[in-house]
Amino acid sequence: MAKQKLTLALEPDLIAYGKTYAAERGTSLSELLETYLAQLRATPALPDGDGASALVRRIRSELEQGQPQAPQLVDQKAVRLDHLRTKYA
């Protein structure tokens, strides 16, 4: 599938942070966002009321605390097991 261009409106400091973060990892901001969105699509939604996956809930929580931590690699199994332990505890 051919890639398409997308225009985003973001805060300048967030753009600068994203470019620096991506460069430190040897990738581009576009590739970083594409990988993130692909992870969101691949993460199964869990039946928790709002349908959000464990990864999305964790990111929301970090954003609410003002400490976003973009994961390099997410252990999907560990995130799901953590959710299940909490849910059935």
> Based on the structure, what is the number of domains in the chain?
2
Q: Quick one: 86 and 57 in the same domain?
A: yes
Q: Quick one: 59 and 31 in the same domain?
A: no
Q: Quick one: 38 and 58 in the same domain?
A: no
**Spatial separation of the C-alpha atoms in residues 44 and 51, rounded to whole Å:** 9
pLDDT tens per residue, the chain (89 residues)? Answer: 788 998 989 889 999 998 998 898 888 999 888 888 887 777 665 555 566 677 777 777 777 776 655 556 667 778 788 888 888 87
In a domain, 35, yes or no: yes
Under 8 Å between Cβ of 15 and 50: no
Token digits of residue 29 = 């901001």
In a domain, 78, yes or no: yes
**Spatial separation of the C-alpha atoms in residues 53 and 43, rounded to whole Å:** 6
pTM of the shown model: 0.49
Query: Is residue 17 left, alpha or beta, with left meaning phi > 0 and alpha meaning psi from -120 to 50?
Result: alpha
Q: Quick one: 57 and 23 in the same domain?
A: no
Q: Quick one: 38 and 52 in the same domain?
A: no
Query: By residue range, what is the domain housing residue 79?
Result: 45-89
